[in-house]
Amino acid sequence: MWSLTIPGRPTSMWSLTIPGRPTSKGNSRRILTRADGRPFTASSAASTRAEQSVRAYAAAHAPAAPLEGPVRLDVTFRYSIPLASRATKRRAAKIVAGEPCTRRVDRGNLLKLIEDALEGIAYLDDSQIVEGEVRKEWGEQNETFVLVACVANAIEQMRR
């Protein structure tokens, strides 16, 4: 984890590597009604635990204050290369770290869990996210790499 600090300015870039297998935020198909009559969707217990785990890990490595203004969010979800079994030996031998991962996990749901978990920690609200890149790839271990940057700073860095 590292962050870039410009003297006299708050942190403008923040990154974090979250260990463990990337988890997606499940789609809630059940709409329930609160006692006051307002509807809400129920989250799965596994999805809620995963989001709380990411929040706790991010909070322990968080910048002093959440980024303000428009931000860029780049996320790389890495899945460990599966061990070769007899049936998949030829296929597994072709997998190389850094290659795109086509596991049947929806990247939008993976991203939504990260966006929601980092709200109030890396940025004030996920509506601040105006651009970014999402990637699923094979790696040496299961992990999620997150980079959050102020958009003005990201544009400045790209020009250099």
pLDDT in tens, 46-102: 888 999 999 999 999 988 899 999 999 999 999 998 876 444 554 556 788 899 998
User: What are 107-124's pLDDT values in tens digits?
Assistant: 999 999 999 999 999 999
- Mean residue pLDDT across the chain: 81
Confidence of residue 147 (pLDDT cuts 50, 70, 90): very high
The model carries a pTM of 0.77
pLDDT at residue 22 tops 70: yes
CA distance 128 to 120: 11
Q: Give yes or no for a contact between 77 and 108, defined as CB atoms under 8 angstroms apart.
A: no
In the chain, the amino acid numbered 154 is A
> Number of structural domains, the chain?
1
Q: Which domain holds residue 107?
A: 3-159
Q: Quick one: how far is CA 80 from the chain centroid?
A: 17
Q: What is the pLDDT of residue 145?
A: 97
pLDDT band for position 16 (50/70/90)? very high
Q: What is the CATH number of the domain that holds 79?
A: 3.30.1330.70
Phi-psi region of 37 (alpha: psi -120 to 50; beta: other; left: phi over 0): left
Vertex 128 angle, CA 124 and 132, to 5°: 120
